[in-house]
Homo-oligomer: A and B are copies of this chain.
Amino acid sequence: MAKDLRITFLLDFYGDMLTDKQREVIEAYYNEDLSLAEIATEKGITRQGVRDAIKRAEQQLLEMEEQLGLAKRFKNVKDGLAKICDCALLIQEINSRGVNNPDINVNIAEIVECAQELALEE
């Protein structure tokens, strides 16, 4: 069973909408990297039962993203924040090659800190 990397990302957004049992199984598989057999032993269910539970949970996460598109919105924000950081660091470099105005550097530091903080929140 191939692991779909989008699922890890979607789990972060919509995981709390799954049932406790679904979430436990899919997190064991995607976040703790346990095998189907290991999860089956741990949960006292069959390997096929684990596989079915994961498939159902994956389907639900993908449907939620199709309906709400919030993971995509956050991805866009993250990409934009990285671009903002790049621009700020360019300004810093240009400034340091010229008059190196400290007031400009203070504001650059604030932009970079703010962008990095927001990117981490996700």
Residues of A within 8 A of B (CB): 13-14, 16-17, 64, 67-68, 70, 73-74, 76-77, 80-81, 83-84, 87-88, 90-91, 94-95, 98-99, 101, 103-104, 107-108, 110-111, 114-115, 117-118, 121-122
Q: A99-B99, A107-B91 are in contact. Are A114 and B13 (CB under 8 A)?
A: no
Residue contact B74 to A73, C-beta cutoff 8 Å: yes
23 A-B contact pairs sorted by A residue (CB < 8 Å): A13-B70, A14-B68, A16-B68, A17-B64, A17-B68, A73-B121, A73-B122, A76-B118, A76-B121, A77-B77, A77-B118, A81-B118, A84-B114, A87-B108, A88-B107, A90-B103, A91-B91, A94-B103, A94-B104, A94-B107, A95-B101, A104-B104, A111-B111
Q: Which 9 A-B pairs have the closest CB atoms?
A: A87-B107, A80-B118, A16-B67, A87-B111, A91-B107, A87-B110, A94-B103, A90-B107, A80-B114
